[in-house]
Amino acid sequence: MQRIGVLGSAVVGKTLASGLKAHGYEVRIGSRTPSTLAEYSASAGIHAGTFAEVAARAEGLVLAVRGAGAEEALALAGSANLRGKIVIDTTNPISNAPPSDGVLQLFTGPNSSLMERLQARYSEARFVKAFNSVGSARMVNPSFAGGPPTMFYCGDDADAKAAVARVIEQFGWEPADMGSAVAARAIEPLCQLWCIPGFRQNSWTHAFRVLWS
Ligand SMILES: NC(=O)c1ccc[n+]([C@@H]2O[C@H](COP(=O)([O-])OP(=O)(O)OC[C@H]3O[C@@H](n4cnc5c(N)ncnc54)[C@H](OP(=O)(O)O)[C@@H]3O)[C@@H](O)[C@H]2O)c1
């Protein structure tokens, strides 16, 4: 997976596109309106296109769109352009309702997840959940006195997970394989936990680390 298409024009898409480029990948970035990426594209040296254009040329994809727009973004990318491809899924199923006492509200239930829904709808692609439970500022080359933080990931395809684990490691994280796509039911809500110090104390630069024994 050398040629990566990033679907998403906001902070996560730009951060991961620039991080992937810095780590030697050939990257393109997509939006429904690629012209909105003109300034970023020129300064980062990363070509911008529509979701379909970017997906068509890529060997692997990063899905970095609003959770509620994820199905639409993949439909625009085009199912033929997803066939066999790894999709690094950074999305969270955050609902439009405001946080409740600092706890984000999700549009999924405890025994479901957005990634399972996407994997079922687009079975031709190989989804791997990752990068969803840390703020964009710490996604690439995080630096903490306590050592590398832990990146939980999951998905149904072993080869896809191995490729994503390599990216996670290149970016300076400890990859932690949580199993099949079902584990997204546990990984997606970590975004709620991660955001609580943000909403309560305006602290947005932490990351999770597991102390294994
Ligand atoms: N912000 C963070 O630090 C952070 C951290 C971890 C995970 N995440 C997750 O990462 C994802 C991206 O977050 P973000 O903050 O970068 O951006 P965002 O504001 O959540 O999403 C912006 C992107 O979503 C696309 N989009 C919105 N509605 C759409 C629709 N109906 N159909 C197709 N595309 C649609 C936009 O497309 P256009 O380009 O066409 O406008 C844009 O590219 C989210 O799921 C978020 O929960 C965010």
| DSSP sequence for 41-67 | HHHHT-EEE-HHHHHHH-SEEEE-S-G
Q: Kindly state if the Cβ of 74 falls inside 6 Å of ligand 1.
A: no
Q: Among 138, 129, 126, which Cα is nearest to 85's?
A: 126
Which of 11, 40, 61, 65 should be mutated for ligand 1, with most atoms under 8 A from CB? 65
CA-nearest residue for atom 40, ligand 1, is 32
CA-nearest residue for atom 43, ligand 1, is 8
CA-nearest residue for atom 25, ligand 1, is 65
The pLDDT, as a whole number, for residue 56 is 98
**10 Cα to the center of ligand 1, angstroms:** 6
With contact defined as beta carbons under 8 Å apart, do 54 and 28 qualify? yes
Which of 9, 11, 12 should be mutated for ligand 1, with most atoms under 8 A from CB? 12
Hey, which residues does 87 pair with through a beta bridge? 61, 127
The pLDDT, as a whole number, for residue 1 is 87
pLDDT, tens digit, 9 for 90 and up, residues 138-153: 999 999 999 999 999 9
Mean pLDDT (whole number) for 18-23: 98
Q: Kindly state if the Cβ of 34 falls inside 6 Å of ligand 1.
A: no
Pairwise CA distance, residues 86 & 88, whole Å = 6
Residue 7 has pLDDT above 90, yes or no: yes
pLDDT, averaged across the chain: 98
Q: Kindly state if the Cβ of 11 falls inside 6 Å of ligand 1.
A: yes
Mean pLDDT (whole number) for 69-79: 98
Residue 33 has pLDDT above 90, yes or no: yes
Residue 92 has pLDDT above 90, yes or no: yes
**212 Cα to the center of ligand 1, angstroms:** 33
Helix (H) or strand (E) holding 128: strand 126-129
Ligand 1 atom nearest to 90, measured from its CA: 10
Mean pLDDT (whole number) for 112-130: 98
Give all strands of the β-sheet with 26-30 in edge-to-edge order.
47-49, 26-30, 3-7, 60-63, 86-89, 126-129, 150-155, 174-177
Q: Kindly state if the Cβ of 92 falls inside 6 Å of ligand 1.
A: yes
**211 Cα to the center of ligand 1, angstroms:** 31
pLDDT, tens digit, 9 for 90 and up, residues 152-192: 999 999 999 999 999 999 999 999 999 999 999 999 999 99
Helices and strands, number each (H, E), in the chain: 8, 8
Q: Among 8, 5, 10, 86, which Cα is nearest to 47's?
A: 5
> What CATH number does the domain located at 3-201 have?
3.40.50.720
Q: Kindly state if the Cβ of 81 falls inside 6 Å of ligand 1.
A: no
Which of 66, 127, 131 should be mutated for ligand 1, with most atoms under 8 A from CB? 66
Mean pLDDT (whole number) for 36-54: 98
